[in-house]
Amino acid sequence: MEERIVITGMGTVNPVGLTVEETWRNIVEGVSGVGPITLFDASDLLVQIACEVKGFEPTNYMRPRDARRRDRFEQFALAAAREAMESAGLEVSEENADRIGVIVSSAIGGLNSLQEAIFTVRDVSSRRVSPFLIPMLMANGASGLIGIEYGMRGPGMSVASACASGADGIGMAWMMLRAGVIDVALAGASEATITVTGIAAFDRLGAMSRRNDDYSMTPQPFDKNRDGLVMGEGAAVLVLERESHARARGANILAELAGYAATVDAYHVTAPREDGAGGAAAIRAALKAARVNPDEVGYINAHGTATQLNDAAETRAIKAAFGDLAYRIPVSSTKSMTGHMMGATGALEAIFCVQAVREGVLPPTIHYETPDPECDLDYIPNQAREAKIEVAISNAFGFGGHNAVLVVRAYH
């Protein structure tokens, strides 16, 4: 029987908090991270709102020279990794460095650095492009920098599966740990796509809310009047360990990562299968891997982007996977508060599942007003709910038809 994989540390930087504690407090209170874009002049864009990380000062986590040589998504990842390492009480030594992996993903990588370099070539000169451009834009940049920062010499990589990247990265680490390849992994994701190019590109897909003047009720996952996602940014990193390793070093075990599974719709490059079959298959497979019965699941953190297609398809996926039980399982979309952090969202939502089983509180879906007949589950509208649960699952579905599901269980 495979060894249990446990979670011993967590860290995050996101639109509603710069630590796990601050973030969870604001999530439970239903605090929205949406506001006008301040990172650049968005006045010429049709979308002028986003969920930006607020109050983040990279020099609190690294030297000013290093901060200038790192893209924003890399800065976020290093900050989240530091908190995760400190909360886990994990120390890297010559003896254990080869047995610690870093799987910190990004769907898009250093988009801002790439955009600025293109502007520089166009407006100034190709000779003025930063010599650090490639390390700043490559999607594995965050993973590599974390390994360098702490001297971790085990497997290091970034999984790119669109908005499922964070969950898939955690799942990849889970598989490596179960296989005995490593004893510890830092796993998660980071993203910083609130740029002119990022906002314009996603808007052209018809995926984004344009409520620039009245953004107090957007995004609205699962609501009949939902009109699209709000882009977010940030990072989340978890420390995963083989149970025997965590117990041997006296670590504080937060929860068990009990299962993971991934599927692909094989249907469309951006749209989900309308019947939710791919997502349902991933949920079933993840529960099977975790040896969890459907009636044991007490909470689902939904992908819940607030787009018309995604929310309806995910609702069908949940009903296909759970049958009549689906109507008795609380579901919420924390993207109603954090916005859609692209590849990083799945990692942050895994943290929310850990907190839900530990604290006995289920996060709400804020901005929920008008029920949609196609979305008819219990979405924990507007207020957090106290509930003692043992198992929570996190759905992360991405462009390309990628579906990833994580199963978090209370640790006893």
When pLDDT is averaged across residues 126-150 and rounded to a whole number, the result is: 93
Which pLDDT band, with edges at 50, 70 and 90, does 30 fall under?
very high
- Look at residue 407 and tell me whether its pLDDT is greater than 80: yes
pLDDT of residue 162: 95
When pLDDT is averaged across residues 129-141 and rounded to a whole number, the result is: 92
Q: What is the CA radius of gyration of the chain?
A: 20
pLDDT of residue 112: 94
pLDDT of residue 1: 63
Average pLDDT, the chain: 96
- Look at residue 39 and tell me whether its pLDDT is greater than 80: yes
Residue 258: Cβ within 10 Å count: 23
Q: What is the bridge-based pairing of β-strands 297-301 and 255-264?
A: unpaired
pLDDT of residue 148: 96
Active site residue 163: yes
Q: What is the pTM of this model?
A: 0.97
Q: Which one of 245, 303, 367, 402 is the catalytic residue?
A: 303
Domains 5-248 and 260-409 share a fold: yes
* Every domain of the chain and the residues it spans: 5-248, 260-409
Which pLDDT band, with edges at 50, 70 and 90, does 24 fall under?
very high
Active site residue 402: no
When pLDDT is averaged across residues 164-193 and rounded to a whole number, the result is: 98
When pLDDT is averaged across residues 113-137 and rounded to a whole number, the result is: 91
Architecture of domain 5-248: 3-Layer(aba) Sandwich (3.40)
Task: Kindly report the CATH number that applies to the domain delimited by 260-409.
Answer: 3.40.47.10
Burial 215-229 (b: 16+ CB within 10 A, else e): bebbbbbbbeebebb
The answer to whether residues 170 and 240 touch, using CB atoms and an 8 Å cutoff, is yes
Residue located via tokens 């298959």: 281
User: Reduced to 3 states, what is the DSSP secondary structure of residue 284?
Assistant: helix
- Look at residue 271 and tell me whether its pLDDT is greater than 90: no
Which pLDDT band, with edges at 50, 70 and 90, does 402 fall under?
very high
Q: Choose between 136 and 176: higher pLDDT.
A: 176
> pLDDT exceeding 70 applies to what percent of the chain?
100
Rounded Cα distance, 80 and 12, in Å:
4
pLDDT of residue 160: 95
Which pLDDT band, with edges at 50, 70 and 90, does 270 fall under?
confident
When pLDDT is averaged across residues 63-89 and rounded to a whole number, the result is: 97
pLDDT digit string, tens, across residues 191-229: 999 999 999 999 999 999 999 999 999 999 999 999 999
pLDDT of residue 319: 98
Q: Which one of 51, 245, 340, 353 is the catalytic residue?
A: 340
Q: Which one of 163, 245, 353, 402 is the catalytic residue?
A: 163
- Look at residue 109 and tell me whether its pLDDT is greater than 90: yes
Q: What are phi and psi of 34, to 5 degrees?
A: -80, 145
Which pLDDT band, with edges at 50, 70 and 90, does 2 fall under?
confident
Q: What is the DSSP string of 144-209?
A: HHHHHHHT--S-EE---BTBTHHHHHHHHHHHHHHTTS-SEEEEEEEE---SHHHHHHHHHTT-B-
Active site residue 303: yes
Helices (H) and strands (E) in the chain, counts: 13, 14
